[in-house]
Every structure is written in structure tokens, then in C-alpha cells.
């Protein structure tokens, strides 16, 4: 756990797992996808969860009340990577889409923005340098400059200009900026709602958008001293320092996440 302990936090990882096991029926685990369950890749479509992850998530879902993946990816992408999981909920596009009990629910306020997002993606492909990977996600557009970091300033300037013209939101990330509809939805809001009736929750994240999820755990602890929340960062060379500073503990990679969960499940 972090060196500076909050009053209701046990001083070691082993004790944190023990507390969690004691509250298993009222515990939820939340995970980001990219950089947490899967290594980050130059081509977003090539990302796959590390081999051990699907199995360990399924075992975790059998042990606690709920397991959910909260990602910037669309639900359709997450389902393609976790087709074998029966007990894991999927939140796509920062919570604008939700897969729960065999059905997808889309935030109604975001649906009218689909044509504008499609048009924006085509404009980005035409106006930005060809090295920029434009990812159209139906309800958002991500502009990846991982393979051309020298173009970061140009991409960010273009993105902010488009956001201002069309009234869009911008989400920064690891070598990417994403333009989203002006709908009030983010990972922090997903976690705030998701822990409303929980006594314990863990969130694993690696990027700037995940800090809002960490903050949601802190906020719940502030109003309910009996609630136990654990914020876990996964190290990376781009945003790792800021995310780790906001977390209780840091793991080195998605492979280590799988090992950490496997070891933790021995507590149940």
C-alpha cells in the first residue's frame, strides 16, 4: 500500500486482501483495459489481454460480488476480447456504453452525436499527417500519435480547434487525444455509481482518465468511513508518475496485474 496511509487502510497488501476477502460479497473490482489488462500497442486494434487475464478475471468474478472493465474502448471491442467471460460487466467509451447481463445500453444523450463523430473522423484523416492513426469509435474519435511523437503539438492543436468549433470534450491520454460528445460522463462517474452500495472496491488504471476513478473511491471513503477502496496504478513511461502519485500502490505491467490477482485470490 502507499506509504502515507489513510485512517481506514491496512498497512500492507496482504492485509488489504484479507479485508477484501472478508467483504467479498460486497466488493467490486474495476479495471481499465489498455495498459492494465493489455500492453499498449502502436495499433489499437492489435491489443489483446495478456494470456492469464481472462481466466483470472473469471475466477475473481466467482469470488466477489462484481467485476467490471471500464474503458475508452467501445463495448463491441471489449466483447471481442472477452467473449468467454460470463460474469464481467463492460463499460465502453468511458461509460457511454454498458454491457450488462447480455445487453448493451447506450447513453441516449450521446446518440445524436454519431454523425458528427463520423464526419470528424473523416476530416481528421484528410487534414492530419498520415502518420496519425485516427480511431473512430462511433461516439468518439481518438487521435493516436504514438508512432510520430514529434507531431504531438500539431495533433493537440487540431483537436482543440475542432473541440472549440463543435462544442466537444477532449480527453488526453498516453500519446493520444480523444474528442467526445459534450455529455457528462467519465470513469469517475461510473465508479461513483458502481460503489454506491459496496463496502469495498478496487480500481486498476494507468492513465489520466483513471485518476477520476481513484478520486471517486476517495470521495466514497470521505462520506463513509466504513468503505474500503484501493486505487492501483500500472506503471508506464508516459503518464505513470502522475497516476502512481494518485494511487495506493503501483504494479509494473499487465503481466504483473495478472500475477497480483492470482496471488490475491489465495486469500478467498
Q: Catalytic residue numbers?
A: 32
CA distance 87 to 93: 20
Torsions phi, psi for 31 (to 5 deg): -135, 135
Amino acid at each position: 500500500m502507499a506509504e502515507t496511509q489513510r485512517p481506514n487502510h491496512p498497512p500492507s497488501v496482504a492485509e488489504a486482501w484479507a479485508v477484501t476477502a472478508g467483504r467479498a460479497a460486497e466488493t467490486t473490482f474495476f479495471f481499465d483495459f489498455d495498459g492494465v489488462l493489455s500492453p499498449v500497442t502502436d495499433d489499437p486494434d492489435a491489443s489483446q489481454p495478456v494470456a492469464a487475464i481472462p481466466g483470472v478475471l473469471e475466477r475473481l468474478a466467482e469470488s466477489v460480488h462484481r467485476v467490471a472493465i471500464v474503458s475508452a474502448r467501445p463495448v463491441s471491442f471489449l466483447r471481442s476480447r472477452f467473449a468467454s467471460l460470463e460474469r464481467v460487466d463492460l463499460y465502453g467509451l468511458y461509460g457511454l456504453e454498458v454491457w450488462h447481463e447480455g445487453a448493451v445500453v447506450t447513453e441516449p444523450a450521446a446518440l445524436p452525436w454519431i454523425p458528427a463523430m463520423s464526419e470528424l473522423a473523416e476530416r481528421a484523416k484528410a487534414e492530419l499527417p498520415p502518420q496519425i492513426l485516427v480511431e473512430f469509435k462511433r461516439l468518439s474519435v481518438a487521435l493516436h500519435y504514438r508512432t510520430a511523437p514529434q507531431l504531438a503539438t500539431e495533433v493537440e492543436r487540431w483537436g482543440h480547434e475542432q473541440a472549440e468549433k463543435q462544442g466537444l470534450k477532449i480527453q488526453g491520454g498516453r500519446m493520444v487525444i480523444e474528442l467526445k460528445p459534450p455529455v457528462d460522463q467519465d470513469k469517475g462517474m461510473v465508479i461513483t455509481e458502481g460503489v454506491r452500495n459496496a463496502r469495498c472496491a478496487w480500481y486498476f488504471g494507468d492513465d489520466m482518465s483513471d485518476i477520476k476513478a481513484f478520486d471517486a473511491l476517495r470521495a466514497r471513503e470521505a462520506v463513509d468511513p466504513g468503505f474500503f477502496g484501493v486505487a492501483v496504478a500500472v506503471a508506464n513511461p508516459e503518464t505513470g508518475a502522475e497516476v502512481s502519485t494518485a494511487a495506493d500502490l503501483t504494479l509494473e505491467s499487465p503481466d504483473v496485474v495478472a500475477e497480483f490477482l492470482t496471488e490475491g485470490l489465495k486469500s478467498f
